[in-house]
Amino acid sequence: MSKGIKTKETILNTALQLTSKFGLESLSIGELAKSVGMSKSGLFGHFKSKEKLQIMVLDYAAENFTQQVIIPALKKPRGLPRLEAMMMNWKKWSGSYMTGGCPFLSSIVEYDDRPGNVRDHVKLLQETMIGSFERALRVSNEENQIRSNVDIKQAGYEIYANMIAYHIYSRLLGDKNSDKMFTANFDKIITSIKV
């Protein structure tokens, strides 16, 4: 890695930690400069604007998600095995990745009522993730693993619902059965669509 890329990586990593703790809207180039020990003008050189920084932080987290959750799942056989691997990878990743909280979930809540580029980007990233599940489901259909009349969007919605509920049950509620409930619900969704 060149020095420039490594510096950017360090900055984005710190920015992501701050986002995880305080949310994306509170993220400022000034505060970030303090945290990484750089000048504000030096950071402006990297990111140009707060909005650009926010979007790059989201992309940085999304890239990590892709590397940890999606790509390892592609080693599994096409269709349902991949979808199942995505769920298991995600559960592991979501539990270990951020101490502060999920940067995506906090951005969803912060930006769902704030029109603009950041909101559009939060939306795009969620749609991309849900799209990965839907694609795995369409492949499952091609491979005759699920019934041909399955409503793919509905199944994607249910899979997504399970992830968000698990996140809240395990983190806020500290429910010791969260893992079991997540798995039971996922199995139930799959059983309901399987051939």
Give the count of residues interacting with a copy of itself (CB under 8 A).
41
- How far apart CA 13 and CA 166 sit, in angstroms, is 25
Question: Is 113 among the residues that bind a copy of itself (CB under 8 A)?
Answer: yes
Question: Is 122 among the residues that bind a copy of itself (CB under 8 A)?
Answer: yes
Nearby residues of 99 by Cβ (< 8 Å), 6 or more positions away = 20, 21
Backbone angles phi, psi at 151, to 5 degrees: -80, 105
In the chain, the amino acid numbered 64 is N
Contact positions with a copy of itself (CB under 8 A) in 141-170: 151, 153-154, 157-158, 160-162, 164-165, 168-169
Q: Which is nearer to a copy of itself, 9 or 127 (CB)?
A: 127
E-strand stretches of 15-167: none
| Run of H or E residues at 116 | none
Question: Is 127 among the residues that bind a copy of itself (CB under 8 A)?
Answer: yes
Q: Which is nearer to a copy of itself, 74 or 164 (CB)?
A: 164
3-state helix, strand, coil in the chain (%, to 5): 75, 0, 25
Q: Which is nearer to a copy of itself, 184 or 195 (CB)?
A: 184
Chain residues in the site for a copy of itself (CB under 8 A): 21, 23, 99-102, 105-106, 108-113, 119, 122-123, 126-127, 151, 153-154, 157-158, 160-162, 164-165, 168-169, 171-174, 177, 181, 184-185, 188, 192
